Amino acid sequence: MGRITLDKVSKSFGEVEVIPPLDLTIDDGEFVVFVGPSGCGKSTLLRLIAGLEDVSGGEIRIDKQPATHLPPAKRGLAMVFQSYALYPHMSVKKNIAFPMKMAGIPEAEQERKIADAAAALNLTDYLDRRPGQLSGGQRQRVAIGRAIVREPAAFLFDEPLSNLDAALRVGMRMEISELHKKLATTMIYVTHDQVEAMTMADKIVVLRAGVIEQVGSPLELYREPRNLFVAGFIGSPK
């Protein structure tokens, strides 16, 4: 379901080409991490996949369908934003229900999906709380819950943990990995944090200035970094 392919996808802002044409395949169910220094184009690449930016060239396919010119809502992907963007006046339950309400999903089905999402995210005891009564990590989970109920083909995360303190980050990292195992849905996860990349990814995509320097499993990148940039970034002593 959640196979995503990029074929010679490029992006320029005005005269500046921030992503020269690149090819990338993300397999169904994979946990893929885009990693690289600040400004290397990670968010732009994710936003191209999400449809929040138009490509300057190339083709995107999602689930074998041409998706290059589909609006974000038609791509079947769920973007989990860095800022939680929860409705402060609504309960956790209503926040999670909101996208289903908008889509006109029957109440009984909403209830079932909320219960499933809450169970998967350990939020069952917090459904009646408001976002202001939750910790940062819990709010992050609610944001993920709101994405889960739409049953997306893939989840897209852009540095979702960068607002959290170090201890919480470790916990949330494990929770997202656990969630990936439970749901077996494709996840694309952007970070500039090497440790996050190495501990969470099935496949790491190392970016530098919009160019893919290497794609591989954490172990492959560690053992066989293609160049000094990858070696330096991943931290193996080549």
CA–CA separation, 34 and 143 (whole Å)? 21
List the single partner that 41 binds among ligand ADP, Mg ion, none, CB under 5 to 8 Å by kind: ligand ADP
3-state secondary structure string across 53-85: CCCCEEEEEECCEECCCCCHHHCCEEEECCCCC
Q: Assess 12 for contact with Mg ion (CB under 5 A).
A: no
Q: Assess 51 for contact with ligand ADP (CB under 6 A).
A: no
Which span sits near ligand ADP by CB under 6 A: 39-47, 54-62, 74-82, 116-124? 39-47
Member of 44, 95, 186, 191 binding ligand ADP (CB under 6 A)? 44
Q: Assess 82 for contact with ligand ADP (CB under 6 A).
A: no
Member of 5, 12, 25, 43 binding ligand ADP (CB under 6 A)? 43
CA–CA separation, 10 and 167 (whole Å)? 37
Cβ atoms 8, 24 nearer than 8 A: no
In the complex, least distance from residue 40 CB atom to ligand ADP, rounded to whole angstroms: 4
Per the structure block, which two tokens stand in for 83? 């800022």
CA–CA separation, 11 and 68 (whole Å)? 13
Q: Which residues of the shown chain bind ligand ADP in the complex (CB under 6 A)?
A: 13, 18, 36, 38-44
